[in-house]
Structure 1
Amino acid sequence: MTTTLSDREPENLRAQDRGRVVLVVALVLVAAQVTIRAVLAGAGEFYWDDLILIGRAGTEPLLSESFLRYDHDGHLMPGAFLVAGLATALAPLQWWPAATTLVLGQAIASLAVLRVLWLLLGARRVLWAPLLFYLLTPLTLPAFAWWAAALNSLPLQAALAWVTGDALQYARTGRRRHLVSGVIVTALSLFFFEKAILVPFVAFAALALTYRVDGRSRPIRTAARRAAPLWLASALILAIWLGFYVSTVESRFGTPTAEMARGLSIHGLSYGLLPALVGGPLQWARWNPGPPWADPPAALVFVAWAVLLGTLAWSLRRRQRTGFVWAATAAYVAASMVAMISTRFGPGTTYELAQTLRYFADSAVVVAIAAALVLRAPRRPSATTIPVPVRRTAAAGLAALFTVSSLWSTVTFTRSWTDNPTGEYLAHARDGLTSRPDVAVLDHPVSVWVLLPVTFPHNLVSSVFAALPDRSDIAGSTTELRVLDEVGALVPADLLAVRWVDSGPEPGCGRRVEPGITTMLPTGPMLEATWTVQLNYLASSDGEIEVGFPSREPARVAVTAGPSTVYVRVPGGGEGVQVRTATPGLSVCIGAGPVGVVVPR
């Protein structure tokens, strides 16, 4: 019996309807995920490196090389600094611009993942499975909620999906727009995160594996030939970027001990990555001011390993030519693991670092693409056919279980993440620093619950609040001692004495500082640190003096005619503090006073 065109029309219409349903459901899933992430972003606040980014945005010109080309703990990320600078300029120290960039970045990444899955699987319901995984997996939560991490991770996730899609399209159609798009997105992703060097390699592997599961001969050679201009352009971009990176960033790569490598690997895989793949970890642990880390129950770790091994056995037994898909995915995860271990190990490193998940967030995109390739692969002829109703029921049950587990992990993460004192600290500090803008505040570190001293000098009030408008001047000296306390309130302070400047040999004057002469104020031995000295002086006129330890650059301090007191921040150490006048004709008498550390009263 001959099939006519009119007979095929209803079938084509039904296929179009199915395609619309698949697309609409997929877009609804994306919208739901972005909404959930928007709630998480709205509940968040600045944390740790975020304050370094906005602090530098307040102290450096937006488009300056010193701002954009900065080695941030081994990261070269001018794009991230540019976004942070624009957000800070729009609303200094306000969270909503940062939260907006998080939501927009997540929406772009999720749509890019939907696009590549559509190109791999077409308008088939099976597309919902890898899409649902990417959208809901807790694997991407920590790198999303932390703004500084998201400025690295979200562009990388978007680029991995988008450039892979461009490679598939360019190989199929040869249209130049896909070549141009792939090259531009690759270049842009490198401006946000150095790990984006893997983007072209993932795109090449995905294209070659697509040919492999489709049964094409010589898939690697075919992938290289069909998209050769894209690979050559990407290689040129990587070469240029590599020179830029090497000339800017000090290498953090090293060789850890075998015990450290083993511990981080086990914790990262068994307690971090694998539970997140099945919707875990269900619960999180945290030691403020550190970030939350996955803390899965032992039963979930066992289930995660069982699911992994079971899925591997199922795909190898029922789907043709999927072994290389698993190998490529494992290689990507291993590369992420090696990068983390070789750059973040050290005497103070704990194994829980690997359980923070942010080092594996981009693996969610790779796993989603790998799942799509497995689902694209043809069934083995020998595989037992499972009835459609049974397959659909099982798929729906697994999807529901994964969704519930992932949402619960999201809820528990949000509870842990919002246990963050930074927001309250910044709010109090903004009020205090703008209450009396005419009185300078002596520069000092912020609370250790906000930034630890290891981040010096970015932990100083002068850095964190550099962009805050209408605030007090944050200076190296002040006539009124005030500090931000543990919750950020600006309160009166006292100088806790460690040493003393003596009363000096000259009655009624103490120690005289004459023009052109450097005078030593003996204190006794003091260790290298940042100290505050209280100068009780009598000045002949208004002017400036220079104060500091001999080994350090002195601070310039304004003095007024007559008797007064000024508190001066003096980094360094030694047997005494040097003072000399910086204003011609100025002479100053300095009496006894303490040298020590400033504490809230």
Structure 2
Amino acid sequence: MFVAALALIAVQIVVRSVVAFSGDFYWDDLILISRSGELPALSTEFLFYDHDGHLMPAAFLVAWLSTAAAPLSWTVPAVTLVVGQALASLAVLRILRLLVGTRPVLLLPLVFYLFSPLTLPSFAWWAAGLNSLPMQIALAWVAGDAIRLCRTGRARFAVSGAVVTALSLAFFEKSILVPVVAFAVVALAYRVDGIERPIRTALDRGKALWIPLAVVVALWAATYLHFTHSRLVFPSATQTAGLAHHGTSLGLVPTLLGGPWSWDRWPPSPPWATPPTVLVVLGWAAVAAALVWSLRYRQRTVGVWVSMAVYVAVSEAAMILTRSGPDTAYELAQTLRYVADSAVVIAIGWALIVRAPRRPAVRPLPRPRPVFIVGLVALFVASSLWSTATFVQRWRDNPTVDYLANGRAALAANQETPMLDQPASIYVLLPVAFPHNMASRIFGPLHDRPEFGRSTNYLQVFDDSGHLIPGAVVRIRSIGQGPVPECGYRIENDPVDLPLDGPLIDWEWTAQLNYFASTDGTIEVSLNRSGDTVTVPVQAGLNQAFVRLLGAGDGIRVRPVTPGLELCIGAGPVGAVGPAPEAGS
């Protein structure tokens, strides 16, 4: 059975490798890359950043190493996902062997964990996988260490359990549930084995692990509360019920039968499960049948069912309390990533039910034929693989892929021309991600690219597919022709204010300076009321400079820096940057 289990894991890794290498960066992945290219790896600002309520220094460090090794290359992240999945699967196999031995029944909960689409969305998305996979590893591994410690008394299992828990907390704050699950597994195993006072026995035999786990959790909690801000919200009863229904009936339950079979997506959102009604009904029927069977034919399994239900409820409660709001769509709960780790708990729960002794006073059901069991398992795997295939189709509908590929190629071909910074397409990152949605942050880690600066002599912008196209300043205000015939505004030694035809509020503006320079040199440009100063290189002759200015004013102040530099500046627009008319046509 052990060889068969390893073979099943190998098949799962092949399937998940196809999923991983079919994907690419998405949303939060780009935020990880932005921060990795901007900050030192071992700085507090980098490692202990409050990422939308997540404290995940180890995940940030993995992202930094991946970005440093191969900037904007999907290969390294895909490998980290596959390796993480392999470790999680082996950890689940270990805990299942500890609970049920190497009997053929071991394969049933293992197959569920390996192929259920419940873990699929959090696996395919790199940022989510950096959270979820270490936690899945820890849930299974630390529970296994707790069982081994209570059986053998060997201190190395206490050390291993504490270290793995600390590491998982460094990836994902939800790993605070790892010690709770480990204790529950030991206590429930004692309960189904008929040991008196199972909770007290678990406490006594495992205290060498529980004490260091308590210290680890306390230290982590203090760190978490110091570096993060509370995002707890208390939604209405209607929204709570809606999210719970969508997360359970339309999310988790269909995956118990290999569903959801189909997915929907509104880019840039991630895919969510859209199971047919018949699958939802069959899923609940399967849960009810399993519950009735276990309560009638197995002893002392009520606690196992309650524990699994509580774990799912806690996961959904965490989602509702931290992610709900007036504009929250119920489909959020159908993305499955908030309950992905429940796959480990369900597999362990099923193993505990199988471990429980039969009720002696109840006539047993006829033993099903092996071919029948194999057929059901094959149907589940086929259903899961179909759900996996339809998920990959939706996941590939990712505009970020072309945007990054085209952007890399365009920047590599234009390394000599400085670029004005600009936000990425809204189909890649929405403005709420600022400043990580800026092109300088996303493409910053690349080596073959131009400099992103505050000025350029040739204005280019990225279109929604990542191609560089000619840009233009969309007029809000204008610089007039100036008083000097055939020159406009003459600038020699002192600063000169170029009046605008109206005031500008405190904001980010781009000025198009059409100039004639007597020689190569530099000038300083700013708005005349507030804001910083930009140093702009100029070239001899008739040229243009596009300058990004921050501040407010009713004029553009220009001061020569290079001795002997003289300029004539003509009329030009000041405003926002967009595609040039011929580029957008």
The interval holding the TM-score normalised by the smaller chain is over 0.9
1:88, distance to aligned residue in structure 2 (A): 1.2
Tell me which residue corresponds to 1:77. Answer: 56
The letter for the 2-side match of 1:477 is S
Q: How big is each residue's C-alpha offset from its partner over 1:110-154, in whole Å with a ceiling of 9 and x where there is no partner? A: 000000001111111111111000001001000000111101110
Question: In 1, distance between residues paired with 2:262 and 2:398?
Answer: 17
* Counterpart in the other structure of 2:65: 86
Higher deviation after alignment, 397-406 or 178-187: 397-406
- 2-side partners of 1:383 and 1:587: how far apart? 102
**Counterpart residue number, 2:574:** 595
Q: 1:172 aligns with which of 151, 154, 173?
A: 151
The match for 1:348 is: 327
Contact residue 321 and residue 377 of structure 1 kept, 8 A: yes
Deviations 1:4-59 (A, max 9, x none): xxxxxxxxxxxxxxxxxx10111011110011000111111111111111122112
Q: Distance in 2 between matches of 1:204 and 1:417?
A: 37
* Deviation (angstroms), 1:304: 1.2
Instruction: After TM superposition, list the pairs within 5 Å mapping 1:228-307 onto structure 2.
Output: 228-307=207-286
Match of residue 132 from structure 1:
111
* Cα contact 1:120–1:373 (8 A) shared by 2: yes
- After superposition, the C-alpha distances for 1:213-235 in whole angstroms (9 at most, x for unaligned) are 11111111111111112111111
Q: Which residue does 1:14 correspond to in 2? A: none
Q: 2, 9, 28: which is aligned to 1:30?
A: 9
Shift of the 401–225 alpha-carbon distance from structure 1 to 2, 3 Å rule, reads same
What SS class does the counterpart of residue 4 from structure 2 fall into?
Answer: helix
Number of the residue aligned with 1:368: 347
Distance in 2 between residues matched to 1:359 and 1:242, nearest whole Å: 21
CA displacement 1:395-446 (0-9 Å, x = unmatched): 3232122111111101100111111122222111111101121111111112
Show the counterpart of 1:419: 397
Residue in structure 2 matched with residue 13 of structure 1 by the alignment = none
Q: Give the superposed CA RMSD.
A: 2.2
Letter in 2 for 1:88: T
TM-score (norm 1): 0.91
Instruction: Say whether 1:187 aligns with 2:127.
Output: no
Q: CA deviation at 1:64?
A: 2.2
Q: Report what 1:105 is aligned to.
A: 84
Does 2:522 align with 1:543? Answer: yes
Work out whether residues 496 and 598 of structure 1, in 8 Å CA contact, stay in contact via their aligned partners in 2.
yes
Query: Partner of 1:450 in structure 2?
Result: 428
* 3-state SS of 1:247 partner: helix
Conserved in 2, the CA contact under 8 Å of 1:547 and 1:556?
no
Query: Does 1:214 pair with 2:193?
Result: yes
Q: Does the 8 A contact of 1:515 with 1:580 survive in 2?
A: no
Q: Aligned partners of 1:534 and 1:124: how far apart in 2? A: 76
Tell me which of 397, 402, 416 is aligned to 2:375. 397
Given that residues 473 and 574 in structure 2 are in contact (C-alpha distance below 8 angstroms), is that contact kept between their aligned partners in structure 1?
A: yes
Equivalent positions of 1:568-579 (< 5 A) are 568-571=547-550, 574=552, 576=554, 578-579=556-557
Q: 1:369 Cα deviation (Å)?
A: 0.8
Tell me if structure 2 keeps the 8 A contact 1:445–1:461: yes
Which residue does 2:95 correspond to in 1? 116
State the 1:394 CA deviation. Answer: 4.0
CA, structure 1 residues 143+501, in 2 after alignment: closer, same or farther (shift >3 Å)? same
Q: Which residue of 1 aligns with 2:468?
A: 490
Deviations 1:543-579 (A, max 9, x none): 241425855444443334565321122355x553553
How far is 1:536 from its partner? Answer: 2.5
Worse-superposed segment, 116-125 or 391-400:
391-400
Using the TM superposition, give the Cα deviation of residue 508 of structure 1 relative to its aligned residue in structure 2, in angstroms.
5.6
Say whether residues 1:463 and 2:441 are aligned partners.
Answer: yes
Structure 1 pair 552/156, CA: closer, same or farther in 2 (3 Å)?
A: farther
Whole-Å separation in 2 of the counterparts to 1:52 and 1:185: 27
Q: 1:269 to 1:516 in 2, by over 3 A?
A: farther
Amino acid at match of 1:279: G
| 35, 46, 53: which one aligns with 2:25 | 46
Does the aligned pair in 2 maintain the 1:329–1:367 contact within 8 Å? Answer: yes
Distance between the aligned counterparts of 2:209 and 2:484, measured in 1?
Answer: 80
Offset of residue 516 of structure 1: 7.6
Instruction: Give yes or no for contact 2:420–2:452 (8 Å, CA) kept in 1.
Output: yes
Q: Could you tell me whether the CA contact under 8 Å between 1:515 and 1:584 is conserved in 2? A: no
8 Å contact 2:121–2:335 — kept in the other structure? yes
1:332 to 286, 308, 311: 311
Tell me the residue number matched to 1:4. Answer: none
Is the 2:35–2:46 contact (alpha carbons within 8 Å) kept by the matching residues of 1? yes
Change (3 A) 1:581 1:379: farther
- Does the Cα contact within 8 Å between 2:183 and 2:202 map onto a contact in 1? yes
Give the length in aligned residue pairs.
578
The answer as to 2:75 corresponding to 1:96 is yes
Q: Could you say which residue in structure 2 is the equivalent of 1:147?
A: 126
Q: State whether residues 523 and 575 of structure 1, in contact with CA within 8 Å, keep that contact through their aligned partners in structure 2.
A: no
Matched position secondary structure for 1:359: coil
Q: 1:161 aligns with which of 129, 140, 145?
A: 140
Gaps of 5+ in 1: 1-21
Rate the CA distance shift 1:582–1:398 in 2: closer, same or farther, 3 A: farther
Q: Are the aligned partners of 1:166 and 1:178 in contact in 2 as well (CA < 8 Å)? A: yes
SS in 2 for 1:358: coil
User: Does 2:409 match 1:431?
Assistant: yes
Alpha-carbon offset, residue 499 of structure 1? 2.7
Identical amino acids, percent of aligned pairs: 54
Match of 1:12 in 2: none
| Contact 2:523–2:562 (Cα < 8 Å) also in 1 | no
Q: Is the 8 A contact 1:513 1:519 kept in 2?
A: no
Question: Aligned partners of 2:505, 2:330: CA distance in 1, in Å?
Answer: 34
